[in-house]
Amino acid sequence: MNFNLLIENLTNPALLFFALGILAVYLKSDLEIPQNSSKFISLYLLFAIGFKGGQELSHEPLTAEIGWSMLFGIAISMVIPIYTFFILKRKLNIYDAGAIAATYGSVSAVTFVTSVSFLESQQMAVHGHMVAIMALMESPSIIIGLLLISLFNTENSPSIKKRNVLSHSFTNGSVLLILGSLLIGFIANAKQAEGIKPFTNDLFKGFLSIFLLDMGITSGRKLKDFFSFGWFPFLFAIFIPLFNGSVIAILSSFLTDDFSNRFMFAILAASASYIAVPAAMKISVPKANPGVFIPMALAVTFPINITIGMPIYLLIIQNT
């Protein structure tokens, strides 16, 4: 591994703010980001990445490669929850196994956003269609996870409100905002779009750092309860994402030669949702324990991806 790249990633200000958030919890500090401010920053990040992606997409020719890339992304989000479900149900109940499988099949917009910043530090740019692929990968894994729970659920009483979850998976606020911003960025006049460029570009990394500070505080608060479930969820949350990301980093070479696209595919495969999936599972599978799958995604997988995961995926891509 390129240790200079690893050190550079570990000293990224955004990551250091994440670590500061965890440290604040263990020092029992009263440091806290107000809930309304945290929600605004979340919306801003989704808006900014969607709008910038739409602008980039408007300058890209719609090729067969882009079409195949979208299908590849959807396939990833459907296959991952299937194989992970059968691993998980050996140790956990059906509800938790299905919820965790859906979590790891879906994607993390924040990990995606952080990866965009990482690529920029490597003098590479994210192509606009990857934003669309990220949005398309949110819902399929939720549907697959619910189908698996339904198939393997031995209880007589129905526990899944299928109509509600199908509706929610497509109208979820994060999905709607990222797709809406992408569409607006795509159709917006380039000259007019320049007027908001300072907001969507110049402020981006600052808002990302504050958001990761908030994520660190949230993660620190959940870690203690999470460890009460034993080592299996913790080890799963480390090794499965690294496996997924590494495999897709290799397989993506059959689809595209572009390093940045391959890197983003690896990140999307390795990331885990802690916004869309928990919201959907709360509605549809109340028996699934959020005290397991939310800390797995947020407190373990997320920091693993942005510290050692990204340099590993980039190294694999550069050598395949």
The pLDDT value recorded for residue 84 is 97
Alpha-carbon distance of 190 to 245, in angstroms, equals 35
**73 with 251: CB under 8 angstroms?**
no
Number of domains in the chain: 1
Q: Is-contact 241 270, C-beta < 8 A? A: yes
For residue 86, the model assigns a pLDDT of 96
Torsion angle (degrees, nearest 10) of CA 31, 108, 46, 178: -160
Q: Which residue ranges of the chain lie beneath pLDDT 70?
A: 1-10, 155-175, 225, 279, 283
CATH of the domain at 60: 1.20.1530.20
Q: What is the pLDDT of residue 164?
A: 60
Looking at residue 157, its pLDDT comes to 47
Contact indicator for 262, 253 with CB cutoff of 8 Å: yes
Name the DSSP class of 252: G
pLDDT of residue 89: 93
Q: Which domain holds residue 77?
A: 3-318
Q: Say what the pLDDT of residue 4 is.
A: 61
211, 227, 193, 230: which is closest to 274 by C-alpha?
211
| Distance of alpha carbon 287 from alpha carbon 281, whole angstroms | 9
Q: CA–CA separation, 300 vs 92, rounded Å?
A: 18
Query: Are the C-beta atoms of residues 320 and 249 closer than 8 Å to each other?
Result: yes
